[in-house]
Amino acid sequence: MINSKMICKIMGSLFFIEAGFLILCALLAIYYKETDLTAFLSSAAITAGAGIVFSIFGKNAERKISRRDGYVVVSLAWIFFSLFGMLPFYLSGYIPSITDAFFETMSGFTTTGASILDNIESLPHGLLFWRSMTQWIGGLGIVFFTIAVLPIFGVGGVQLFAAEATGPTHDKVHPRIGVTAKWIWSIYLGLTIAEVFLLLLGGMDVFDSVCHSLTTTATGGYSTKQNSIAAFHSPYIEYVITLFMFLSGINFTLLFLFFLKGKFKRLIENTEFHWYLGTVGCFTLFTTVTLVLTSPMGIEESFRKAIFQVVSLQTTTGFISADYMTWVPVLWTLMCIIMLFGACAGSTSGGIKCIRIAIMSRVSRNEFKRIIHPNAVLPVRINRQVISSTTKSAILAFTFLYIAIVFIGWLLLMILGVGFEEAYSVVISSLGNVGPGIGKCGPSYSWSGLPDMAKWISALLMLIGRLELFTVLLLFTPGFWKKH
């Protein structure tokens, strides 16, 4: 059975944390003397009130969390965080539609970065910071953040980590999941602070530096400017953000071992990192050569725009330094392919992930060998470890479901009147937590023109994609709710 009391207790703790972040944004509203103060205080009060109610229901809960409880907690956490997180946008009147406010918030927490706003600069500083903060919280995971700061989960933290972490395998740098969470969050925080410092050196002001650093390390892509990074007209800023987007696409366990343990060899010899580096390099080279041959840009500018956009889309950050819809059509197709790839498992990026692509490629290669040598034993090895048949089956199931959801979502959006190109890119972008699409949902446009039902579908796809399909879809299977 579901441990409903423990679920309520955990949810109550999560709501208190969210209320704390809302109060932090209220302090910004006081500092800048802007009109969103009341909205933040009201939102914090409502969220804290819900925390009190859930904590009361969770009183005297048995400190035990099953795997099934973990899936319920994680799914509910992301939905309720978005419901309460949309309140500042809605109550302040800056996003007067519940559909749009929920879409913007879900896009934030899932680090998708798609927006319905047509004039981002008109928002007060508190709301702009809250948009960035939603992505930073959601980057490594809402529940994973709580595991790091609150010792309320006990051994159940492993179940929650498994339900929220990305990738087919989950690495731990310490036997205790709470310690693992603290160390990984220390890397996350360190990258954010380092980027703030470097952006300040590039002439960006403190507020913009903080907001963009929060959304870069989260690979979220929310900007304080309508034209995203292109608004700053700074090659230095583009290169700095490219670097930190790339770093944030690497498995954070590897970053921890590299930066804090000095294990450079573990990073260099990692198979997934090879694929990540190789795909970024190949896509960048192709895009650079194409731009040099087909646009008026010089070699340096072509390389800079190419590597920025490739890294932005492969890490599913979604920042824009140039409108790639003005490039030749072959690059539009390439950008959509890049959105599917994703970066490394265990990072803040979305998409299919390089580790799955690496394993599938080796399984495919082995099938050719098996035809020639039917009796040969051909294990699939990643980082010198044999991949189990269970993991290979899970990856095959994930890939099938991913493609199936893309086609179902594509069909549904076209039924709702969304154009062929736009429907495809919206589904790919939402499920992969990327942000920009193509056509009228491309980098120069917001998604405000989508029908309301299409926005709700996109929001659901964002959640499914962020929690890697199974965590959410399991809740819709009858067997999940059976007593045994």
Q: How far apart are CA 483 and CA 432, in angstroms?
A: 33
CA atoms of 147 and 178, how far apart (whole Å) = 6
Q: Is 440 in contact with 449 (CB distance < 8 Å)?
A: yes
Residues facing residue 385 across a β-bridge: 382
Q: Is 406 annotated as a binding residue?
A: no
433 is known to lie in a ligand binding site:
yes
Q: Is 220 annotated as a binding residue?
A: yes
Beta-carbon contacts of residue 251 (< 8 Å; ≥ 6 apart): 167, 171, 270, 272, 273, 344, 345, 346, 347
Q: How many CA atoms does the CB half-sphere of 161 hold within 13 Å?
A: 22
60 labelled binding-site residue: no
Neighbouring C-beta atoms of residue 375, cutoff 10 Å? 5
> Which has the closest alpha carbon to 476: 1, 10, 72?
72
Q: Is 316 annotated as a binding residue?
A: yes
The C-alpha atoms of residue 427 and residue 434 are separated, in whole angstroms, by: 10
Q: Is 112 annotated as a binding residue?
A: yes
Contact between 186 and 193 under an 8 Å Cβ cutoff? The reply is no
CA 247 to centroid of chain Cα atoms = 14
Tokens at residue 426, please?
């919206």
Q: Is 111 annotated as a binding residue?
A: yes
CA-to-CA distance for 250 and 219, rounded, in angstroms?
Answer: 11
Q: Which residues are annotated as a binding site?
A: 111-112, 220, 316-317, 433-434
Q: Which residues are annotated as a binding site for K(+)?
A: 111-112, 220, 316-317, 433-434
